[in-house]
């Protein structure tokens, strides 16, 4: 019997976590082999590796403890990879040389797949004097554009998908431009943006007082705090960005506030980190720990939870020693503080099994109880590790116990820390778990509500056909197994039907016992008023959250299909002419100028490379020949045929823009895909788009769709019902949804955040 409860779970394992050799052949023959590989690798630093290997395996078995994807995929492989998920880079110096040194470090980190965060508040504002060069500063946003281009370049080179977080203080003179930066749909696409909101600013907002925008002790502007707050709110209401981070609260509550200052987070916001801070992630699957679900005796076994948390803490502490790091500064930071981020997944499913409605008062209280139990077990386990292996190097008992979070801990735990120290400076965090939740049988993600109880997923088969399969939420499947066709009770609510303040209440209850932060999306209805929307953020502030991320579907954030403006039509030929005679083929010069383009079509194993060479006639460049190449042998015959046919047409001269039109009109009956924000109906249409962009770049065409009798892109986008969510850039299926701060595909698990 397979351990996987759903086909999608096995597909996720095979695609993302299963160890394969250089030829793509499986080295892990089963998921048990994957668990054994990870358990063995994390136990090798122990004095009794065999004992701890078995205990670690037991924690992994049946998806009870879910290390983050980098640990599952990288541990025990012998590869030079980082097992850490989250990085905040060094403080950016306010100098050209320092800025580009930081850019290099970011590139090296992203090359290994690390998501990174940066605070751009340290760069002087636009227009500020640059002494010694008689020039004005270009400001932090201009350098964010450079980072954005770097990230796109790293991705195009075949690296793992990267994500970046950019933060800026609410008192920086360029904060208004930062707030509006992503309203330009072509700008900063590789960044998530968040404003660092201070306590003083929130007090000024409530008092409707003035607010100084300053840098280096100089006040550049003074604005009304409430006006600036409304600009932040309006941007996120309309565009879903920027997010809000309550930075003073983060630093006040930080166990390490005596040793570090936090000014940025990782891309999804659950890890506020100091310069060069690094954190690894893992989640306890609460849905697997519920006994007698959907009965009057249902409960989450507290003894099993305590044992699992303690084992997970030990495993994650060992990862600090087992992992590689992109930069030596990151390794030093991790070793000095031994920070880990243990969280949960399956919370909403566990509540359902106990008959509790997500967001209701009893569910909020149960969440608080569970999260406190996890925090106690984690901290006590770390104290035990300190007795055995030593406290983290920067531990100072008096200062550590004086932190805001530690003041909330029970007296017996505080006494244990004072007496024995603690191994890990921070221990808890709630990270996005979209992919590992699918891998674990489609349990609810993190502390999010269930988004959809069931949906149909189209699966691409090896022969190119597609089959449909139902993907069912873990708790719903358990209900069906136990109750048959009995209707779901009223307490089965989902993200679409919940009131936004129910989301806030759940986030605040969990945050009370999480020492880092939480990745959580508060779904708001499209018709929520602007005033009610602002109240969500004020409630998050008042209830003690460390940040707030919302998602309101609208024409900007949720639109999928759009029709381009009516294109210019090419001059019409004489309607009476049935045949157009072509000239003789043009002779090929000995040398031609051209360009090569890389095209990665979602779902295709190998990239396609398109080389277009031009000839100069009358002082103007025009396409002369095309070469199309791919390592995929299935493409060989048609790429050769396409190369020869298009080149033959190009060499005849005349208006060859119809080639673009014909290619863009080719539709694949198996479905197209979304590439860089636009729907492309087939690989051939994508090739047509590449040729069109080349023609525009060389001046042969005036613009996209211009010079064509019709723009097939516009026609396909106008057809059909509007889907519930955007199409996935990886698999092409519609229904992308915002979960835990990331646009996530329910069909294949793709997430823009990694």
Cα 553 to chain centroid distance, Å, stands at: 18
Does residue 46 have an active-site annotation? no
Question: Of these residues, 170, 268, 279, 742, which one is catalytic?
Answer: 268
Tokens found for residue 596:
């090569």
Q: Which helix (H) or strand (E) holds 624?
A: strand 620-630
| Tokens coding 256 | 């390490």
Query: Residue 195: how many CB atoms within 10 A of its CB?
Result: 27
Which residues are CB-contacts of 56 (< 8 A; sequence separation ≥ 6)?
38, 39, 42, 43, 311, 314, 315
Q: 192: exposed, middle or buried (C-beta count within 10 Å: 0-12, 13-18, 19+)?
A: buried
Is there a contact between 546 and 707 (Cβ–Cβ < 8 Å)? no
| Distance (Å, whole) CA 56 – CA 310 | 11
Parallel, antiparallel, or unpaired: how do β-strands 550-551 and 522-523 relate? parallel
Give the separation between CA 573 and CA 581, rounded to whole angstroms.
Answer: 13
Respond yes or no: is residue 268 known to be catalytic.
yes
Euclidean distance between CA atoms 173 and 341, whole angstroms = 34
CA angle 385/386/391 to nearest 5° reads 135
CA nearest to 545, candidates 575, 578, 571, 521: 521
Sort 573 into a burial class: Cβ within 10 Å, 0-12 / 13-18 / 19+.
exposed
Instruction: State residue 135 phi and psi, 5-degree precision.
Output: -145, 165
737-739/593-599 β-pairing: unpaired
Residue 610's DSSP bridge partners are: 597, 628
Tell me the residue length of the chain.
754
Is 254 an active-site residue? no
Tell me how far the alpha carbon of residue 571 is from its chain's centroid: 46
- Structure token pair of residue 350: 């566990």
**Residue 100 to residues 105, 139, 691, Cα–Cα distance (Å):** 9, 14, 34
The SS3 call for residue 197 is strand
- List the catalytic residue out of 266, 285, 318, 442: 266
| Contact (Cβ atoms closer than 8 angstroms) between residue 677 and residue 709 | no
Q: Taking Cα atoms as reference points, which of 343, 337, 316 lies closest to residue 400?
A: 337
- Three-class DSSP category at 652: coil
Closest alpha carbon to 375 in 305, 425, 428: 428
Catalytic pick from 105, 270, 333, 625?
Answer: 270
Residue 412, φ and ψ in degrees, nearest 5: -65, -35
Q: Which residues are registered as beta bridge partners of 455?
A: 471
Q: Which residues are 548's β-sheet partners?
A: 244
Q: Which residues are catalytic?
A: 266, 268, 270
């Amino acid at each position: 019997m397979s351990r996987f409860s759903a086909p999608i779970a096995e597909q996720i394992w095979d695609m993302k976590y299963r160890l394969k050799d250089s030829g793509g052949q499986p080295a892990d023959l089963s998921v048990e082999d994957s668990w054994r590989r990870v358990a063995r690798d994390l136990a090798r630093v122990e004095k009794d590796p065999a004992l701890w290997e078995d205990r670690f395996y037991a924690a992994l078995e049946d998806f009870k403890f879910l290390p983050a994807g980098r640990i599952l995929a990288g541990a025990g492989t012998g590869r030079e990879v980082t097992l850490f998920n989250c990085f905040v880079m060094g403080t950016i110096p306010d100098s050209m040389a320092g800025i580009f040194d930081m850019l290099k470090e970011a590139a090296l980190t992203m090359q290994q797949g690390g998501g990174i965060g940066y605070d751009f508040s340290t760069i002087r504002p636009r227009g500020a004097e640059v002494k010694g060069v008689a020039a004005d500063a270009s400001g932090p946003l201009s350098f964010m554009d450079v980072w954005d281009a770097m990230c796109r370049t790293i991705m195009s080179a075949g690296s793992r998908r990267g994500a970046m977080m950019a933060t800026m203080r609410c008192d920086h003179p360029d904060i208004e431009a930062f707030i509006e930066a992503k309203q330009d749909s072509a700008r900063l696409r590789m960044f998530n943006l968040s404003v660092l909101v201070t306590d003083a600013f929130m007090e000024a907002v409530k008092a409707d007082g003035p607010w100084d925008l300053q840098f280096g002790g100089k006040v550049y502007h003074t604005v009304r705090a409430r006006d600036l707050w409304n600009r932040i709110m309006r941007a996120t209401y309309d565009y879903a960005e920027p997010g809000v981070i309550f930075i003073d609260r983060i630093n006040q509550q930080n166990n390490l506030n005596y040793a570090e200052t936090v000014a940025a987070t990782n891309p999804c916001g659950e890890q506020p980190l100091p310069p060069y801070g690094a954190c690894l992630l893992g989640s306890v699957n609460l849905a697997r720990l519920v006994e007698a679900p959907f009965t009057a005796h249902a409960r989450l076994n507290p003894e099993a939870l305590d044992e699992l948390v303690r084992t997970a803490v030990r495993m994650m502490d060992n990862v600090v020693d087992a992992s590689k790091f992109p930069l030596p500064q990151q390794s030093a930071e991790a070793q000095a503080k031994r920070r880990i981020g243990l969280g949960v997944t399956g919370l909403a499913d566990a509540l359902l099994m106990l008959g509790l409605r997500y967001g209701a008062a009893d569910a909020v209280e149960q969440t608080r109880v569970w999260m406190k139990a996890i925090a106690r077990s984690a901290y006590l386990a770390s104290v035990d590790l300190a007795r055995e292996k030593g406290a983290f190097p920067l531990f100072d008992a008096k200062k550590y116990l004086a932190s805001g979070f530690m003041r909330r801990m029970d007296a017996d735990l505080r006494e244990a820390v004072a007496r024995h120290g603690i191994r890990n400076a921070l221990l808890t965090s709630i990270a996005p778990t979209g992919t590992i939740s699918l891998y674990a049988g489609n349990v609810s993600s993190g502390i999010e509500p269930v988004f959809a109880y069931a949906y149909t997923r189209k699966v691409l088969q090896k022969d190119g056909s597609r089959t449909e399969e139902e993907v069912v939420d873990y708790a719903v499947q358990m209900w069906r197994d136990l109750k048959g066709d009995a209707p779901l009770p009223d307490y089965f609510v989902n993200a679409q039907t919940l009131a936004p303040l129910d989301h806030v209440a759940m986030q605040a209850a969990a945050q009370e016992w999480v020492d880092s932060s939480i990745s959580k999306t508060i779904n708001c209805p499209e018709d929520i008023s602007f005033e009610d929307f602002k109240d969500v953020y004020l409630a998050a502030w008042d209830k003690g959250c460390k940040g707030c991320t919302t998602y309101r579907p609208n024409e900007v954030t949720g639109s999928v299909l759009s029709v381009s403006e009516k294109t210019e039509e090419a001059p019409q030929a004489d309607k009476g002419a049935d045949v157009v005679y072509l000239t003789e083929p043009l002779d090929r010069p000995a040398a031609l100028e051209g360009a090569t383009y890389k095209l990665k079509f979602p779902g295709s194993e190998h990239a396609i490379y398109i080389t277009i060479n031009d000839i100069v006639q009358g002082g103007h460049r025009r396409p002369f020949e095309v070469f199309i190449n791919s390592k995929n042998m299935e493409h060989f015959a048609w790429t050769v045929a396409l190369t020869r046919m298009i080149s033959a047409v190009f060499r005849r001269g005349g208006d060859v823009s119809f080639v673009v039109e014909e290619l863009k009109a080719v539709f694949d009956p198996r479905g197209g895909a979304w590439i860089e924000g636009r729907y492309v109906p087939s690989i051939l249409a994508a090739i047509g788009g590449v040729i069109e962009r080349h023609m525009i770049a060389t001046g042969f065409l005036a613009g996209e769709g211009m010079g064509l009798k019709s723009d097939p892109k516009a026609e396909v986008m106008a057809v059909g019902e509007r889907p519930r969510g955007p199409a996935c850039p990886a698999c092409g299926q519609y229904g992308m949804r915002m979960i835990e701060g990331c646009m996530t595909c329910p069909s294949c698990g793709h997430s823009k955040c990694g």
